Structure 1
Amino acid sequence: MHILLSVFIALCLTLTGCSSNIVKPTEFSGYLANYAQLNEATGVDGEKTLRWKSGDFTAENYHQVLIKDAVFHPKPQVSKQVTTETLDALVRYSSKKLQTEAAKRQLLASKAGKGIVSIRTAITGVKISPEALHPLEIIPFKLVLAGAGAAIGFRDHDLMVYYEIVGEDSLSHKPLFTVVRKIKGDTLDSKWDKMEVKDMHKIINQLSEQGIEALAKALTPTHAQ
């Protein structure tokens, strides 16, 4: 069971689909309570990532997950590039996709309870880099929304999105694991000037489908309790 849990965490953290460095300390958002305990690790796909797992986390004691609605951290300001409607739709899509995948595998809990892991996910930033060029530094949401689309020129650009995830006991709220990772989304064409939910579908689908599938293998089925 502990081996399966390690596989889940590795998959959940490293669905990048590209060769990239781990998230740098200067790119941490402040969403997590403690970044000092994060350790660099290599996932099953060979990608580097950051993670922490509590020594008290025994997978056999958990069988379902409570998926909290995804949030932005820090919360971005709306603009012509990213509207309130787009942000609301992105949060809804992220949360619904995770919940749907968990429900398919009979893992989804409707409320807190014994044996239930509460999972909180924050979208903490994006990086936009021209294809075949060196990546730009991370662009916080406030800069992206202020017009980064026009500032980065007229090339196709890759979209990288940063996530910080917390797993905790749903009753005691004791931290069980934390992860910091980034994954690649769709390529934005040279005429990009507005972020849309479809630009994030690839990222969200990877996180939800593969992460929940691995989680299903790691946690003890309800009927085994």
Structure 2
Amino acid sequence: MRKQVLAPVLCLSLLMVGCSQNKVSPKEYSGFLRNYDQLSEHKTASGESVLRWLSPKLRMERYSQVYIAPSRFYPQPKPSTRIPEPTLKAVTTYYDAALKRELGKVLTLVEQPGPNTLIIRPAITSVDAHTQSLHFYEYLPVTLVVAGVSSAVGIRDLDSVIATEAAFLDGGSRAVVAEVVRKGTGLPLENDDQVMSAENLKMVLDGWAQDWRNAAVALRQQNAAALTGQKSTVP
């Protein structure tokens, strides 16, 4: 009877681990942002979990331009055999390009911040590879033993994981108007010997940039709706 109860409980625990993989815990905060206490969890337009704070004074309709500061690692990571220096450089380069590509669709990109400009300061706070969570077909008690052995001998795939923190500032006053913390899982590595490349993470970086573009549009709509007394939501 005890084994019959244990199996469902274990399966539920594994499911919870998989679902929480892209949620950022307080112990993962890097110190890049000024205040983490004001963050709260939200769902983006793509359905991903994100920690976010928006200033009550934020009015997106004030901004016709956007200045995107070059992304950087915070803290600066040490290159490794699995994640070498060329990969780190390629990740920041692609992150910058993705943000400019998406936000440039709704705001004019500028080289210097000024009035009517939204400043974005993005940081990559971690890049790593973790052993994948078990898949649903591995939750059965019989296959749990096999999955455990596979993980122990290092033949399970590794998830490529990346996290970001970003501050959004008013270009005129330099006041912080929003802060965001989030994490994502990219294409897996097949084993401990595979070197991570920017290709493993591009889908995550593209998704972040698209979500920020959608949020900018939604905030404009929300502010406009507030002026007319209508209801609107922000992803």
TM-score by length of 1: 0.72
Identity of aligned residues (%): 32
Partner of 2:98: 97
| Structure 1 residue matching 2:93: 3-state secondary structure | helix
* Alpha-carbon distance change, 55 to 152 in structure 1, aligned in 2, over 3 angstroms: farther
In structure 1, how many angstroms separate the alpha carbons of the residues matched to 2:91 and 2:49?
27
After superposition, residues 20-59 of structure 1 pair within 5 angstroms as: 20=20, 22-44=23-45, 46-59=47-60
| Structure 1 residue matching 2:80: 3-state secondary structure | coil
In structure 1, how many angstroms separate the alpha carbons of the residues matched to 2:153 and 2:60?
45
* Alpha-carbon distance change, 40 to 104 in structure 1, aligned in 2, over 3 angstroms: closer
For the aligned residue pairs, the C-alpha RMSD in angstroms reads: 2.6
In structure 1, how many angstroms separate the alpha carbons of the residues matched to 2:102 and 2:37?
32
Partner of 1:84: 85
Q: Which structure 1 segments of 5+ residues have no match?
A: 1-17, 135-150, 221-225
AA aligned opposite 1:101: E
In structure 2, how many angstroms separate the alpha carbons of the residues matched to 1:157 and 1:163?
20
Partner of 2:116: 115
* Alpha-carbon distance change, 108 to 218 in structure 1, aligned in 2, over 3 angstroms: farther
In structure 2, how many angstroms separate the alpha carbons of the residues matched to 1:219 and 1:63?
11
**Is contact 1:54–1:177 with CA below 8 Å preserved after alignment?**
yes
| Structure 1 residue matching 2:104: 3-state secondary structure | helix
TM-superposition CA deviations, 1:141-161 (whole Å, max 9, x none): xxxxxxxxxx99221122221
1:52 positional shift: 0.7
**Is contact 1:64–1:219 with CA below 8 Å preserved after alignment?**
no
Partner of 1:155: 156
Greater Rg by CA: 2
**Is contact 2:53–2:178 with CA below 8 Å preserved after alignment?**
yes
Q: Which has the higher contact order (CA 8 A, sep 6+)?
A: 1
1:174 positional shift: 0.6
| Structure 2 residue matching 1:99: 3-state secondary structure | helix
| Structure 1 residue matching 2:129: 3-state secondary structure | strand
| Structure 1 residue matching 2:210: 3-state secondary structure | helix
In structure 2, how many angstroms separate the alpha carbons of the residues matched to 1:159 and 1:174?
34
TM-superposition CA deviations, 1:10-41 (whole Å, max 9, x none): xxxxxxxx833631111111111111111233
In structure 2, how many angstroms separate the alpha carbons of the residues matched to 1:47 and 1:92?
23
In structure 2, how many angstroms separate the alpha carbons of the residues matched to 1:45 and 1:197?
21
- Structure (1 or 2) with the greater helix fraction: 2
1:115 positional shift: 1.1
In structure 1, how many angstroms separate the alpha carbons of the residues matched to 2:116 and 2:42?
27
Give the aligned length: 187
TM-score by length of 2: 0.70
Partner of 1:180: 181
